[in-house]
Structure 1
Amino acid sequence: MSDSRTAAWDQIEALPQASLSDLFAGDDARVDRLSGRIDWGEGEDAAGIRFDWSKTHLTADLLDAFDGLAEASDFAARRAELFAGEPINVTEGRAAEHTAQRGSGSEASVEEADALRTRMQMLVEAIREGALGDVNHLIHIGIGGSALGPDLAVDALTRDLAYVDCHVVSNIDGVALEEAFAACDPATTLVAVASKTFTTIETMTNAESAMRWLREGGVSDPHGRVIALTANPERAVEWGVDETRVLPFMESVGGRYSLWSSIGFPVALAAGWDEFAAMLEGAAAVDAHFRDTDGRDNLPLRAAFADQYYARVRGCQTRAVFAYDERLALFPSYLQQLEMESNGKRVTSNGEPVDGPTAPITWGGVGTDAQHAVFQLLHQGTHMVPVDFIASIAPGDALDPAHHAILLTNCFAQGAALMAGGNMSADGKDPAREFPGNRPSATILCDDLDAATLGALIAFHEHRTFANAVLMGINPFDQFGVELGKKMARDIEGGAAEFDASTKALLEASGLG
């Protein structure tokens, strides 16, 4: 670590640790100072998200010190490299150009992304107009980012209306694929195969099984029902997909950042092209804010300040995310990959050991269900767990408004209770009924949960993840940690390696040895 970064961390760690209640006492400006909005649209189409970090332990002094850390970490330069399409993924020697899919990046990359998106739009519209016959179902096969993003977006945006019944399958466990088969008619089903390399073993094994299912269901040309989503179009054509139904995306778009590319095909087909375009527009608004705003006023960077404070100074090993909206049920799972695969590293971009904790374990659930499952630990357990609450002012249902009022009341009350604490016994002395309080939370409050808002939420967390990486000095865009287990699985299949006694016994017990 450079001397300037060491000095910045020394300053951060030396600052006093006041309680949240004390930080609020006598500071009428705290909420305004630690809250901010990102907006998009105009007139009746204007909307946005409020980000309130006032219930965290951030202070003016901490923000000053973290501004110093960002400067010492060359945050502005790293951000400029990201948006310029520089090879910021140093271990793999390539750029990370997911923002170019949304209009921010090098001119050549933005033009290429536009052309590929136009190609996808034309295919989506052709399918909707009957070019491939009746299409009532889509089975989308992928894994990791090729599945998590589409699954989240389709689930969030098609609750009221789906033009096509979409099933996202990622697990190699055949039960998952059989469940999709049972819900679909082969004669009216398309299969989207999403793989950056078009060689991913789980995806391609599932794809082969889907071809057999189509054939056994009376489809004479199963490969004629396939849409390939890949950065390796030649491989897709070799596998049997007609080139007119191959939707490429750029090699510089990483898997967990690929929803904005042709990997978003199921979103465009199931929710409609306008919804997919709106999702891109919401993300672009966050891109503009992140690109053009400096220091603590940069909301993803401010969130990263809090993340780093709790992980490094307070020793918090986890961060919880609770979406008080059923449509965001898959959002914590999406963030797990985004944050833990990006920043779950042990060395810096220079190959040196990281000098402190990196990504915390991201977990969460849906409110109010989670209140009756895990909030006991959050309120009275021995762990300090920073919590993010996500909610929408506008309801997602047409039922009695009491439903949404109770939902929001619970969301806001949980944050207040975590901070304030108290004792619920009659005499205020029963330790079993005591809540220590001083437990941090942040609230992300959306005007509404529509496609643009979903895009903005995802982009916010992408940039938050990048900002954390810069502050730690690591490369968030590779993911070699997922490869070792895959290699060993291939070794087992090929009988090419010796394993420990426990693994041998398990292989023998399961009939694989």
Structure 2
Amino acid sequence: MTTLTDQPQWQKLSELAASVKQAHMRDWFAEDSQRAQSMQAKACGIFLDYSKNRVTDEVLTTLFDLARAQGLETARERMFSGEPVNHTEQRAVLHTALRNLSGEPVQVEGEDVMPEIQATLEKMREFTEAVHNQTHVGYTGKPVKDIVAIGIGGSFLGPKIMTEALKPYRTDKVKVHFVANVDGCHIHDVLSQVNHEETLIVMSSKSFSTQETLQNTQSAKQWFLKAGGSQADIARHFVAVSSNVKAATEFGIDKDNVFPMWDWVGGRYSLWSAIGLPICLALGYDNFHRLLKGAHQMDEHFRSAPLKNNLPVILGMLGVWYRNFFNAQSHVLLPYYHYLRGLPAYVQQLDMESNGKRTNDSGDTVNYQTGPIIWGSEGTNGQHSFHQLIHQGTSVIPADFLLPLKVPNQNDTHHAMLASNCFGQSQALMQGKTYDECYADLADETDVQRRSKLAAHKTMPGNKPSNTLLFEQLDPETLGSLVALYEHKVFVQGVIWEVNSFDQWGVELGKQLGNEVLNGIQGNADASQFDDSTLQLIKQFTQAN
């Protein structure tokens, strides 16, 4: 079997990179008036301009050839068809089935999973409507006004960030609060704002044993009981998204208010499942369904579009180009829309937990770089802080600029300023400013030596790569498509790098050790299992408490 670095396309890309590094995008734009038109793509309401990348037509063709050589098209179909592509855990990977609106069956081990998915969606719809129309009320008969959603990782980030991004679509019937941090300050601050008689707790944990989530839920239970509720009343005020029905009912949750999870849905891909119940409650079921619709549309595009016109493939292969041939250690996301400010954190988990791997599908340690560091924040704020590093630092940091063309609740001047900053930053990163241009700007400086020195400090090399993604507006469909776009980009890169994008053994180790240390702090563990540093830390903590 040919390894990745032995693929002829990989070898050719290495040669092309050497020549591309000597070229400047500024010159390419000057020489080719059609460059922008030839390097753009559109699908599902998302327009992608990737012309400000350090690529030629030959580079792009070779990247797509590498994708074919690595079996991307076959791997893509295996995932959609329900084969166990998560091979280390022998599981199918079917977040795409959760938003499958085609009416077609999806088989897992010979069984169509779509009826159970559709039944769960119907259960979510009915429960959401019961809360909103006040047929589901608290134990004193008062309607639910506040939802406290407790989870962590994908069970927290997905619902929180989607709800935040779609703020203009929120219902005024309830207010949703999110809690993830096991730091007691967080759950205390949230519960101090709400009335226990009018509050619904939504606990999301597949196992019903995730340490942080279970502790926060126990604290919420103690708060509820202390405020006047009884154990029997918990059934009106607590619901769970979990596969462990027994643990949920022993906690006091009505079995009819336990929403299912499946092994073939990873946490970071789970917002489309019952994990999205807080989204339903915040936005209404119809808007949640629109979110699914947008994601399904991107699934169809990813599954059927030719590689050269395929948004996830284009973004994924550009990422491979910079990670492996330009030593780009990170990738920055820059949403120019306040409500979308949480997207970098969402993609950070999605990407880094999926492709932060060093072992390939054969069990061998790879000899190339895999997943990059993902980071970022909302656009104009970053321009006054970390953009400095992107413009004049020594690292190659590819950037994604994201902008809705229309936004609610803004006058023309605000949004025009936002757009001008977005477009201006991508232009500045590509174009830069030469020493000669900076020197000419300093014509009033009479000290030649100082003028030369200042010109050097003001010079920006440019040639910094970026993509710009535009969409008409950030409605539920578009957000669904956008998130699915990044999901599939991650999948593309996992296939190229030959890593399993769907396990997370590093996360599992952290959970295991955290539980062991907790036992140590509580005096329930053999001290010999800890290294001396950890023992000293435990000792200092226990002495202080």
CA-CA distance at 1:248 after TM superposition = 0.8
- Tell me the equivalent position of 1:408: 419
Structure 1 runs (4+) greater than 6 angstroms displaced: none
The answer to whether structure 1 residue 426 and structure 2 residue 442 are counterparts is yes
- The structure that has the greater radius of gyration is 2
Q: Is the 8 A contact 2:234 2:252 kept in 1?
A: no
Secondary structure of the equivalent of 2:333? strand
- The equivalences for 1:74-89 within 5 A come to 74-89=71-86
- Give the structure 2 partner of residue 208 of structure 1: 218
Deviation at 1:326, TM superposition (A): 0.6
Cα displacement (A) at 1:218:
2.0
Q: Which residue of 2 aligns with 1:502?
A: 533
Q: Output the CA distance in 1 between the equivalents of 2:218 and 2:295.
A: 35
Contact 1:379 1:418 in 2 (8 A): yes
Match of 1:64 among 45, 61, 76: 61
Name stretches of at least 5 consecutive residues in structure 1 with no aligned partner. Answer: 40-47
Q: Which amino acid aligns with 2:59?
A: L
Number of the residue aligned with 1:296: 308
Q: Which moved more, 1:364-373 or 1:226-235?
A: 226-235
**2:453 is aligned with 1:452:** no
Aligned amino acid, residue 149 of structure 2:
H
Q: Counterparts of 2:497 and 2:360 in 1: how far apart (Å)?
A: 8
Q: Is the partner of 1:64 in helix, strand or coil?
A: helix
Q: How many residues align?
A: 504
User: Cα 1:3–1:469, aligned 2, differ >3 Å: closer, same or farther?
Assistant: closer
TM-score, length basis structure 2: 0.89
C-alpha deviation, 1:492, in angstroms: 1.9
Q: Give 1:95 shift.
A: 0.4
Map residues 44-443 of structure 1 onto 2, 5 A cutoff: 48-103=45-100, 106=106, 108-133=112-137, 134-159=143-168, 161-162=170-171, 163-220=173-230, 221-397=233-409, 399-422=410-433, 423-424=437-438, 425-427=441-443, 429=452, 430-443=455-468
- Bigger mean CA deviation after superposition, 332-341 or 49-58: 49-58
Give 1:159 shift.
Answer: 4.5
TM-fit CA distance, 1:457: 0.8
Shift of residue 354, structure 1, vs aligned partner: 1.7
- Which moves more between the two structures, 306-315 or 95-104? 95-104
Q: How much is the aligned-residue C-alpha RMSD, in angstroms?
A: 1.7
Q: What secondary structure, in the 3-state scheme, does the structure 1 residue paired with 2:47 have?
A: strand
Residues 178-218 of structure 1 show CA distances to partners (whole Å, capped at 9, x for unaligned) of 12112211110000000111110110110010011111222
Question: What do residues 265-288 of structure 1 show as CA deviations (whole Å, max 9, x unaligned)?
Answer: 011111111110111111111001
> Are the equivalent residues in 2 in contact too, given 1:137–1:188 (CA < 8 A)?
yes
Deviation at 1:512, TM superposition (A): 6.3
One-letter amino acid of the counterpart of residue 114, structure 1: Q
Write the letter of the residue equivalent to 2:255: E
8 Å CA contact 1:396, 1:449 repeated in 2: no
Q: CA deviation at 1:3?
A: 5.5
Q: CA–CA distance in 1 between the matches of 2:193 and 2:83?
A: 45
SS of 2:271's equivalent in the other structure is helix
Range with greater deviation from structure 2 (217-226 or 203-212): 217-226
Shift of 1:298: 1.2
Amino acid at match of 1:86: E
* Paired amino acid for 2:156: A
Once the two structures are TM-superposed, the CA of residue 138 in structure 1 deviates from its matched residue by 0.3
Q: What is the letter of the counterpart of residue 421 of structure 1?
A: G
**How many percent of aligned residue pairs carry the same amino acid?**
37
* Structure 2: distance between partners of 1:204 and 1:111: 30
Separation of aligned partners in 2, 1:487 and 1:3: 34
The 1:490/1:161 distance shift into structure 2, 3 A limit, reads closer
Distance between the aligned counterparts of 2:74 and 2:496, measured in 1? 12
**TM-score (norm. length: structure 1):** 0.95
1:490 aligned to 2:515? yes
Q: Greater CA deviation, 193-202 or 425-434?
A: 425-434
Preserved contact between residue 113 and residue 250 of structure 1 (Cα < 8 Å) = no
Q: Which amino acid aligns with 1:148?
A: L
Q: Using the TM superposition, give the Cα deviation of residue 305 of structure 1 relative to its aligned residue in structure 2, in angstroms.
A: 0.9
Q: Deviations over 1:311-370 (max 9, x none)?
A: 000001000011110101111110110000000000012211122111100000011111
Aligned AA for 1:412? Answer: F
Q: Residue 368 of structure 1: SS of its match in structure 2?
A: helix
| CA offsets 1:348-401 (integer angstroms, 9 cap, x no match) | 12211122111100000011111111111111111111011111100232x432
Q: Would the aligned equivalents of 2:169 and 2:283 in 1 still touch at CA under 8 Å? A: no
Check conservation: 2:168, 2:408, Cα contact below 8 A.
Answer: no
Aligned to 1:43: none
SS of the residue corresponding to residue 511 of structure 1 reads helix
Q: Secondary structure at the match of 2:500?
A: coil
2:27 maps to which residue?
A: 22
